[in-house]
A and B are shown apart, each in its own frame.
Chain A
Amino acid sequence: MKDVLVSTDGPTTCASKMLERFVSPYNSGVVERLEQAGMVTLGKTNMDEFAMGGSTENSAFGVTKNPWDVTRTPGGSSGGSAACLAAAQAPLSIGTDTGGSIRQPAAFCGVCGLKPTYGRVSRYGLVAFASSLDQVGPMGHTVEDLAMLLQAIAGHDPRDSTSIPDPVPDYLEGLDAGCAGLRIGVIRDHLENEGLDDEIRQSILKTIEVYREAGARIVDVTLPNTRYSIPTYYIIAPSEASSNLSRYSGAHYGYRAAPNKALAKESSALIDMYCAAARKDSAMKSNAESCSVPTPSAPAITMPIISRLSRCDDSFVTTMTRPSSKPM
């Protein structure tokens, strides 16, 4: 269980010093559903602090290493949830995904991960990062395992105002249905992008061929607005994070970092911009015929840990990491 979903059986830290000793008085919706499904939770997995990051190096409890190559990161922010699968420490895990935090570490660790449709899985008891993007999702070794885990955690929860009241489909039903009739949309622009590692490009092209041979119909699609996605994400996510995390004032949660005045001014402007945008009705509906679109989960393979750590000063490394030989 990613340590961003509250549970009563121990601390929920969000990989932050601020919540080092925080024990929730209630269980999150996902924890409750897993208990009802008869699943045993082994522990809480490491992550980037408050799920903000893509390498699991930004944790108050030390970096997580990629089990395939311990000099590299497992990705993030659900890096612990991905690494524990790759190291056979758990058969299934729960991650959360705001801007790739399930999909990218799953790709980096060679496991399966899925960001479900927004609202499909209860966020009751999820410590929020960016509320209009956050979603809880399953991670595992096979698509069958993901389907099973998603079946266990999906469903309406009236305690989460963004939860979808629609019935949950049987995710296992279509597993053996094959690919005949499936439409697969290929975004040529993405595959031709210079920033994409050639090995990954070739893997995607090979995968598309596997689907074509299995009877899927391959069509070209364009998503012309995707070039705005990263700038948009970096307005929405930090603004919502600022709003959500301002509750960790130090008064209730004990630890507060020294404020940075220049940053405070900039973040206040961002919050104003976000509030103005949120007031407009931003709900969008698409009438397009649906199809599956294979895209890279990450443009390149995982990066070495050392290149990131070398950017931190020594005090960060000595005060924020814990000796890895101690049992956690």
Chain B
Amino acid sequence: MEIVHLTAAQMGRLLRAGELTSEQISRAFLDRIAATNPAINAFISVAAERAIDRAKEFDRTRESSSRLSASSSSSFSRLCAGFRSR
């Protein structure tokens, strides 16, 4: 399935499994915004550069933290591990 049609929970699981990166997800949505926003005007402003910078930062943090430890017990952490920076 295309990235933009995944649910956030599915994205979280794929991020955690290392099958997706925050950067890939952010770029997919930024491309989608560029293609569709002129028709619907849902966004007033888009912070594309900053979003990509933050995504890269989260990817780096996730990579280093997954090397250190992969375990976390609460259901929220399990679902969101992909989104969390710490």
Measured between C-beta atoms, what is the minimum distance from B82 to chain A in Å?
A: 8
A-contacting residues, B13-49, CB 8 Å: 22, 25-26, 29-30, 32-34, 36-48
Do B9 and A42 touch (CB < 8 A)? Answer: no
Do A89 and B51 touch (CB < 8 A)? Answer: no
Measured between C-beta atoms, what is the minimum distance from B16 to chain A in Å?
A: 11
CB neighbours of B30 from chain A (8 A): 42
User: What's the A-B contact tally at a CB cutoff of 8 Å?
Assistant: 172
Q: Interface stretch among A64-72, A124-132, A203-211, A241-249?
A: A64-72
CB neighbours of A10 from chain B (8 A): 45, 47, 50
Per-position contact with B for A85-109: 1 when CB-CB < 8 Å, else 0? 0011111100000000000000000
Do B36 and A87 touch (CB < 8 A)? Answer: yes
Q: CA separation between A145 and B20, bound complex, in Å? A: 18
CB neighbours of B84 from chain A (8 A): 37-38
A18 within 8 A of B: no
Find the residue from A36, A80, A89, A144 having the highest chain B CB count within 10 A.
A89
What is the interface size of chain B, counting residues whose CB is below 8 A from a CB of the partner? Answer: 46
Do A324 and B38 touch (CB < 8 A)? Answer: yes
Do A148 and B12 touch (CB < 8 A)? Answer: yes
Measured between C-beta atoms, what is the minimum distance from B56 to chain A in Å?
A: 10
Do A145 and B80 touch (CB < 8 A)? Answer: no
| CB contact under 8 A between A151 and B40, given known A43-B33, A145-B9 | no
Partner of A9, one of B36, B47, B85: B47
B-contacting residues, A163-194, CB 8 Å: 170-173
| CB contact under 8 A between A89 and B8, given known A3-B45, A67-B40, A172-B76 | no
Measured between C-beta atoms, what is the minimum distance from A69 to chain B in Å?
A: 11
Do A38 and B85 touch (CB < 8 A)? Answer: yes
A-contacting residues, B46-86, CB 8 Å: 46-48, 50-51, 54-55, 58, 61-62, 74-76, 79-80, 82-86
Closest to B36 in A: A87
Task: Give residues in A with beta carbon < 8 Å to B.
Answer: 3, 9-11, 13, 15, 35-46, 59, 61-67, 70, 74, 79-81, 83-84, 87-92, 140-142, 144-145, 148-149, 151-152, 170-173, 324-328
Q: Can you give 29 contacting A-B residue pairs, CB < 8 Å?
A: A11-B45, A15-B44, A37-B83, A38-B82, A38-B84, A40-B54, A41-B50, A42-B29, A64-B40, A65-B40, A70-B39, A70-B40, A83-B40, A84-B33, A87-B32, A88-B4, A88-B36, A89-B29, A89-B33, A91-B4, A141-B8, A142-B9, A149-B8, A152-B83, A170-B75, A324-B41, A327-B34, A328-B41, A328-B43
